[in-house]
Amino acid sequence: MKLLNVKGTFDYLPKEMILRNKIISVLRNNFEKYGYLPLETAKLNYFDLLSYKYSDDAEILNEIYRLTDQGERDLGLRYDLTVPFCKVVAMNKNLSLPFRRYEIGQVFRNGPVKLGRTREFYQCDVDVVGIDNRYIEAEQILMAINTYKELGIDIIVKYNNRKLMSGLILYSEIPEDKIDKVIGIIDKIDKVDRKDLVSMLKDINISDDSINKLFDLFKMNLDDLNKLDKNDLMTEGINELLELNDYLKELNILDKCDFISTLARGLSIYTGVVFEFYDRQKRITSAIGAGGRYNKIITNFINDGNSYPAVGLSFGLEPIFVILNMENENNSLIDIYMVPLDTKIDTLKLATNLRNNGYKVLIEMNKKKIGKCFEYAEREKIKYVMIIGENEVNSGIYKIKDMNKKEEHSLNYADLLKYLGE
């Protein structure tokens, strides 16, 4: 049998998991700092649930891992965390709104594989249902900027509004039933040349006059668009963006945000503000996180006559990992490596005391030569090494070597704790 991973899946060794766990820890701490509560949903779902919000020809349906269980039920592995979130809200009518949740969980997509995009990956989502204003969007953008900053990534936020896009398409005298298809084409404007875009638009029977109007409108900035004789959708979209801009300006983060009139976020679920996050250094050129407002999904899903406005964002663990792994210093999780010289019990007692004080201690349990032990510590990036012999046990004076500074100190237990805490 040839041993290999399924395409788009990976095994992560300890040095990589240390970094991945650090990323998740930073994300979780920031999510909770902003009042989001932890949630875990099932990976395995009914296919009807996973596919309910899409038409039969939607591309995402081809990426669902679909299977049948022994009871011949039509199932699938979740491809995102939004649909399971909708299910939870619908099944738990006693939830107090607004309800803020975060979930860090594995999702699966049988789609294209490239740098930062795999078929088995983690999404790190925050969503809130029950708030419909730009105040929450501004807070989520602020959270994203601060969270990426803590991870050491300076981001640029690109943002837009789906109402504005729809309004501009109607303003170009394009029928309402073609809005979603045109948005899908306009979203490709930075990736496809104009000739190909025109061809795509003509394939869905958009006239030359409408195409020219469309391109002219999507070149305009927000101020110029606001001067036009607007339709209702344009007015709503522009007002929401101007309100958001006021918040971003007061928060001193407007300079980290770019209004991009062609940004659509692809999926038709979005109903208002949308945003994407990019690494300013362009170590990865695709978005490393994204989100937006989706007021209709949960509302339509529950269908009880009430409105369930929602907005959320997703941090991409895989692209974040790729970026940080480029500069990973590969430090060890182990603080102290202890080598007993016929002092197993005494070494274990000392290690226990240090562990109770919060230090991660690894005891050498094979009879390696001292030189090999130091080689191991250096190779594994362990900062401190302690050789525990009878002299150390009897005197209570312990030698500790700083592998980074190449310094050795002899300290009693109290001074040892002080030294480690410096």
Instruction: Give the model confidence (pLDDT) of 181-223 as tens digits.
Output: 999 899 888 888 899 999 999 999 999 999 999 999 999 999 9
335 contacts 384 by C-beta, under 8 angstroms:
yes
For the cut 70, the answer to whether the pLDDT of residue 300 exceeds it is yes
pLDDT in tens, 63-88: 999 999 999 999 999 998 988 998 99
pLDDT in tens, 225-278: 999 999 999 999 999 999 999 999 999 999 999 999 999 986 678 999 999 999
Where are the chain's structural domains? 14-325, 336-421
> Which CATH number is associated with domain 14-325?
3.30.930.10
- Residue 54 pLDDT grade (very low, low, confident, very high; cuts 50, 70, 90): low
109 contacts 79 by C-beta, under 8 angstroms:
yes
295 contacts 272 by C-beta, under 8 angstroms:
yes
Would the pTM of this model clear 0.75, i.e. be above it? yes
d(CA 224, CA 231): 15
pLDDT in tens, 331-376: 688 999 999 999 999 999 999 999 999 999 999 999 899 999 999 9
From first CA to last CA, the distance across the chain in angstroms is 53
Structure confidence at residue 112 (pLDDT) = 84
Whether domain 336-421 has CATH 2.60.40.10: no
For the cut 90, the answer to whether the pLDDT of residue 327 exceeds it is no
What would the two tokens of residue 101 be? 């949740």
To the nearest whole number, what is the mean pLDDT of the chain? 92
Q: What percent of the chain has pLDDT over 70?
A: 97
d(CA 378, CA 81): 41
> Whose structure tokens read 């981001």?
155
